[in-house]
Structure 1
Amino acid sequence: MKFREAALGARLASALTALAVASGLALAGMGSAVAAPAATDAAEPTITWSVTPADADGPDGRSWMELEGDPGEKIQEHLAVRNLGTTEVTFALNAADGYFTAKGRFNMLPHGTESVDAGTWVGVQENVTVAPGGMAVVPVDITIPENATPGDHAAGLAASIFSTGSEGGASLGVESRVGFRVLTRVTGEIAPSLAVVSSEAAYRSSWNPFEPGSTRIEYTLENTGNARLSVSGSTVAGGVRLPDASGEAAAPVELLPGDRRTFQLDVPGAWPVGLLRYPLTVEQSVILPNEASEPAAALQQNIEVWAIPWSQLVVLLAVLLIVGGLLWGRMRRKRQVEKLLEEAREEGRRSVVIS
């Protein structure tokens, strides 16, 4: 999968690079990836390549690196770069701190942004030249600092190429990179912890007063421990577990230590009957270095929201106005009839007296 960074001219290079990497660096779920064709001119040959974890002999089937070591320990690994194109290519190799984006995709810091954690632990040569259709296996050294804190630390490791061109008279630089995540657990006291730092709900009435509205629940989770977590949230409404009507749990999302993420749940079929209460349940499990997981106690919290039946009140007001209008009209006609009868009686009395 691709990692793309773009810079337009010298003044825009840093900003566009950061933007492109944030949107195009695809490390989540797949450790190896094939880059899209990279070329600045139709006449130039396209370049495609892949990068995977490896042993000294070549790719070893892993999607990414899951490591565990003591403070001060040095771990030796390898990566394999395959050149799937038709020309010899020199790839730049680099590592940087890793993180999960707001959409849950794994990413690594762009060039120009200094790493302060696991990205600085990864040692790899600056570049490697690979023949067309060939593969190069490159040693990788992960050195855990003596003062490294226990728990999980994330980095990304990538091979990239840089090409230049022009567009509209401006210089255009494009960096394309492919890589995988490097997750290292430092031994020591592992203390997983998850917190619901905020939660709220908003009720949305239906325009049709004879149909229920819906409730949107928004909550923010923070991994306050030192272990990587897999989390998923749900609520129960009308006996059905949401977010989906089938009752299946939401797709789990990974949170690195220190990560904070906001989630939303939409609850349909909510009638505006005053105070609504939704029991939010957040399932969590600790992800282990061997890619297994260990369940942890779920978090539970009640979320309340006032559901005012505005549509129904409008209908009720309209009905009251109609009924009131009918009653007022009836009373008015009754008074008119009584007035006519009284006038007729008075006329009759006057006729009797005159006779």
Structure 2
Amino acid sequence: MKALRLVVAALALVGVTALAAPLPATATEEESPVTWAVSPADESGPDGRSWVELELDPGEAATEHLAVRNFGDREVTFALTAADGYFTPTGRFNMLPSDTESVAAGTWITVADQVTVAPGGTAVLPFTVQAPEDATPGDHAAGIAASIYTESADEGAGLGVESRVGFRVMTRVTGTVQPGLDVDTNPNYVISWNPFEPGMIELEYTLENTGNVRLSVSGSVEHGGSTYPAPDSEQALPIELLPGDRRSVSIQVPDVWPLGPVMLPLTITQGVIAPDGETETLDPVELEVTAWAIPWPHLIIILALALVIAGLFWGRRRRTKQIEHLVDEAREAGRREAAQAPPRDDADPVADPRS
């Protein structure tokens, strides 16, 4: 029986916050685990940045550094790769897996194929970002990572795991900045199971970055004197959209009685994220969303009761008409019988006294 070979990739990239705890990966069952971290650096070592932000003209190149830290107790050789970057539906930054070919900013990065790091040591390597001559203005996302590949065999099945840790590399190509945002709304009223309590509206809206630069976006709804989500809640935090990104967001608006159309003022705040991390505020997008709060279950029950009552009423009228019809037929039959009967002579013959 041929051995089954399965490859699994695991990736931990820097997103909005600093690099998380190093991702552990076990080389083999006999060897100690390998833990490591990768971060932006200068020539002397990690410089405290979470990721790399560059601004380049078309055709311009820049040299940056990365630091690979080996927290294990043995020497490890790491493979170094770069790939196109993207945000997942949950808002986490990621890069294409190693078996998927990059076609955008991931191809702009040149880095060594591998690096060997001593136990407890740190290796600092340069990498180059070269913007093509025909690079379009705006933001371009990529990621760079250090990885190890481990394999174990269990009863004839081979299991391979590629574990990667890295950070993102954002490049702003100079030129005309054109922010753009499309908003598509889909409100849905959720009725309460208790007819004496209000329901809620689930307002789902989809954001699409139609421009060429990153956007910081957040949305809120006003209803009944309150703002949803609450300004100090985690849901109120802005999300980041790369050019071309689409993201769906849901807001729950409670305490809505099913009394027909409900107007919900939706405000989308937006801003352009500059290469230095600052956000330039844009005019908000303001929409009036109409949600139909219709008590369909209640209306169905009322309709059913109305049909039952109408059925009873109609049945009673029908039976009354049937009885009236039978009485009329009986009367008509009596009249016909009376008209068809021969006349009767009730006088008795008188005897002639002369006889």
TM over 0.5, shorter chain = yes
Contact 1:80 1:138 in 2 (8 A): yes
Question: Is 2:99 aligned against 1:78?
Answer: no
State the match for 1:61 in structure 2: 48
In structure 2, list runs of 5 or more residues that go unmatched.
Answer: 314-355
- Count residues with an aligned counterpart: 309
> Quick one: which amino acid aligns to residue 179 of structure 2?
P
Once the two structures are TM-superposed, the CA of residue 61 in structure 1 deviates from its matched residue by 1.0
- Which TM-score applies when normalising by structure 2? 0.81
State the match for 2:203 in structure 1: 217
Report the identity percentage. 55
Question: Is 2:186 aligned against 1:195?
Answer: no
State the match for 1:226 in structure 2: 212
- Which TM-score applies when normalising by structure 1? 0.81
In structure 1, list runs of 5 or more residues that go unmatched.
Answer: 1-7, 329-355
SS of residue matched to 2:106 = helix
Match of residue 241, structure 1, among 204, 213, 227: 227
Measure, in 2, the Cα distance between the counterparts of 1:318 and 1:245.
44
Q: CA RMSD in A?
A: 2.4
Contact 2:23 2:165 in 1 (8 A): no
SS of residue matched to 1:120 = helix
Q: 1:258–1:308: structure 2 CA closer, same or farther, 3 Å change rule?
A: same
Measure, in 1, the Cα distance between the counterparts of 2:230 and 2:115.
48
Q: 1:111–1:74: structure 2 CA closer, same or farther, 3 Å change rule?
A: same
Q: Please show how residues 185-334 of structure 1 align to structure 2 within 5 Å.
A: 185-196=172-183, 198-244=184-230, 250-313=236-299
Q: 1:280–1:300: structure 2 CA closer, same or farther, 3 Å change rule?
A: same
Once the two structures are TM-superposed, the CA of residue 25 in structure 1 deviates from its matched residue by 3.5
Pick which of 241-250 and 205-214 moved more: 241-250
Once the two structures are TM-superposed, the CA of residue 204 in structure 1 deviates from its matched residue by 1.1
State the match for 1:152 in structure 2: 139
Once the two structures are TM-superposed, the CA of residue 89 in structure 1 deviates from its matched residue by 0.5
State the match for 1:95 in structure 2: 82
Q: 1:168–1:215: structure 2 CA closer, same or farther, 3 Å change rule?
A: farther
Question: Is 2:22 aligned against 1:35?
Answer: yes
SS of residue matched to 2:102 = coil
Contact 1:34 1:178 in 2 (8 A): no
Once the two structures are TM-superposed, the CA of residue 37 in structure 1 deviates from its matched residue by 2.5
Render the CA deviation track for 1:31-71: whole Å, top value 9, x for unaligned. Answer: 53443331154431111111110111111111100111111
State the match for 1:110 in structure 2: 97
Render the CA deviation track for 1:180-239: whole Å, top value 9, x for unaligned. Answer: 00001000111111111x211111111111100011111111100011001011111111
Render the CA deviation track for 1:58-113: whole Å, top value 9, x for unaligned. Answer: 11111100111111111011001111110000010010000000000000000111
